[in-house]
Chains A and B, each alone.
Chain A
Amino acid sequence: MEKRMTVSSQNFKNEDIQKLEEISEVNVYSCYQCGNCSASCPAFEFMDMPPHQVIRAVQLGFIDEILEANTPWICAACISCTVKCPRGVDIAKLMEGVRQVILRKGIDHLNINEIDKKLREQLPQIALIANFRKTIL
């Protein structure tokens, strides 16, 4: 069954929502939910909340749903969404904002020591360094 969500003015005063806007400098209220971002997202099928729904959740202040979604950790910042958005919403930047809000709470999304040693030696450095955006470091 779908989880019931209630819109409340309390949600908008949420500290994390404000922090998210501050970090990303993205005006989510420009979005009219056309869904181009989700349609162009190459990793859409791996996300439990498509990009346009993340924006909707930010608009309505549903912070818990956003922080629990795997979406920002699946996003590889390929910027397809941002390029396709007819309203100029920088969704890739918003995803980075969500990652930062979570990471700054001290919740890590990558344990470097768990990366297989053989893989670590084999991977190009740019893969490892870029992937560090999932960790507090």
Chain B
Amino acid sequence: MEISYFPGCTLKTNGRNFEGTALPLLELFDIHAKELDDWYCCGVSFSQSADNLMQQIAPIRTLVKAKESGNTRLLTLCAMCYNTLQRAIFFIKSDEDKRDIIHDFMYREGTKFYGDEVEVVHLLTLLKEIGSEEIKKRVKKKVDEFKIAPYYGCMLLRPKEVAIDSSNAPEIMEEILEAAGCETTYFPFKTECCASYQIVNNSEIVKARTKKIVNSAVKNGADVIVLSCPLCFYNLDEIQIEIKKEDKNFKTIPVLYFTQILALLMGIKSEVNNFSLHYIDPTPVLKRKGLL
């Protein structure tokens, strides 16, 4: 099966370990993710001002590209791309007048987008559709006493109309990881914000958030945190180094994309994990648990 794929900017740089593990993983299920030709930045944060339609053009252009690809489904890995594209679809479906203005503006681009032609699918949703049985069949390694704390953050769950699972108590990542034979642990901060882009010039907020999130995961016995957002990944991973400098008693925890764990369990060569992109080295715990 072939599915159109929108990587977004970060998966080609900081998130190479995400793309690098996700795509070979899909090949195991005979799913080929075909990258869109000549894709644009999705705009990252969905524009919320009602009177400025210019900011909607970037995600809509990508959706137009997806429509032109002929495939009705568009796969995303990055949580922020998922959120922006999915909300752009809701936007264009729900307001005919604004849709007409956007169509008029884009008249030279030929293809018009109405919202129903393309379905944006996040990798977690795709894996859930594939099902526990198929996931189980492909697992080659068994792990014992390896506790994983799935962290969802915001963009996969909020607002409610784009949530890939319950926006209060999601379980989708747990279901997939447990199907692969992992043990997951609940921690109350799994749907809390990491402070997102405040890392650029308000990193104190990210630091405070990460401290709470990490402490909560550690207290609940987690060996690693797994997630699906490249910005959460950077925030939770990098800032732990800063926190550790200030607080010697702070216990760090490795952060990984959920696909890295699945790829290791399914016997995909470990080089695709690009462990050099991690700030808190996950290799000692992975070796200890027999995954490396």
A contact residues vs B (CB 8 Å cutoff): 22-25, 42-43, 45-46, 73-74, 76-80, 82-83, 92-93, 96-97, 100, 110, 114-115, 119, 122-131, 133-134
Contacts and interface: CB of A to CB of B under 8 A. Distances in A.
A115 B200 contact: yes
Determine chain A's interface SS by DSSP, over half rule.
helix
15 contacts: A23-B49, A24-B49, A42-B192, A43-B193, A74-B205, A77-B48, A79-B158, A110-B200, A123-B199, A124-B233, A125-B14, A126-B230, A127-B197, A130-B80, A133-B197
B200 A82 contact: no
A74 B51 CA distance: 23
Contacts of A127: 196-197, 199-200, 231, 234
Given A83-B160, A125-B41, A127-B234, 9 more contacts: A22-B50, A76-B196, A93-B48, A125-B13, A126-B80, A128-B200, A129-B41, A129-B43, A130-B196
Nearest to A100: B49
A104 B44 CA distance: 21
Given A24-B49, A42-B209, A124-B15, A131 B159 contact: no
Contacts of A124: 10, 13-15, 230-231, 233-234
Interface of B: 8-10, 13-15, 41, 43-45, 47-52, 78, 80, 154, 158-160, 167-168, 192-193, 195-202, 204-205, 208-209, 230-231, 233-234, 238
A133 B55 CA distance: 11
A50 B168 CA distance: 22
A24 B205 contact: no
A32 B243 CA distance: 39
A131 B9 CA distance: 15
Nearest to B193: A78
A110 B201 CA distance: 8
Given A124-B10, A126-B44, A43 B205 contact: yes
B276 to A, nearest CB: 13
Determine chain B's interface SS by DSSP, over half rule.
loop
A133 B231 CA distance: 16
A1 B207 CA distance: 32
B193 to A, nearest CB: 3
A90 to B, nearest CB: 8
Nearest to A110: B201
Contact of A96 (B13, B49, B159): B49
Which 3 pairs, one residue from A and one from B, show the smallest C-beta to C-beta distance?
A: A78-B193, A96-B48, A130-B197
Contacts of A82: 158-159
B44 to A, nearest CB: 4
Given A83-B158, A123-B234, A126-B8, A131 B197 contact: yes
A122 B279 CA distance: 12
Contact of B200 (A78, A100, A131): A131
A44 to B, nearest CB: 11
Contacts of A46: 202, 204-205, 208
Contacts of B45: 77, 129-130, 133
A78 B168 CA distance: 13
A114 B80 CA distance: 25
Contacts of A96: 47-49
Contacts of A92: 48
A130 B44 contact: yes
B201 A131 contact: yes
A93 B10 CA distance: 26
A23 B51 contact: yes
Contacts of B168: 83
B22 to A, nearest CB: 16
A121 to B, nearest CB: 10
Contacts of B78: 126
